Homo-oligomer: A and B are copies of this chain.
Amino acid sequence: MNALPNALEYLQNISRTSLFNEWTGLEVTRAANGEVELRLPWKEELGQYSGFLHAGLIGTLIDTVCGFTAAAATGKRLLASHYSVNCLSPAIGDVFLARGKVVKAGKRQIFTTAEVFAEKDGVRKLVATGETILMTAVE
Contacts and interface: CB of A to CB of B under 8 A. Distances in A.
A106 B89 CA distance: 9
Contacts of A87: 79-82
A6 interface: no
A89 B50 CA distance: 34
A18 interface: yes
Contact of A19 (B47, B81, B82, B108): B47
Given A17-B49, A20-B47, A54-B18, A82 B133 contact: yes
A79 to B, nearest CB: 7
Given A81-B87, A83-B84, A87-B80, A45 B57 contact: no
Interface in A13-40: 17-21, 23
A108 B108 contact: yes
Given A86-B111, A87-B82, A129-B111, A46 B59 contact: no
A56 B47 contact: no
Contact of A80 (B55, B82, B106): B55
Contact of A55 (B19, B57, B83, B107): B83
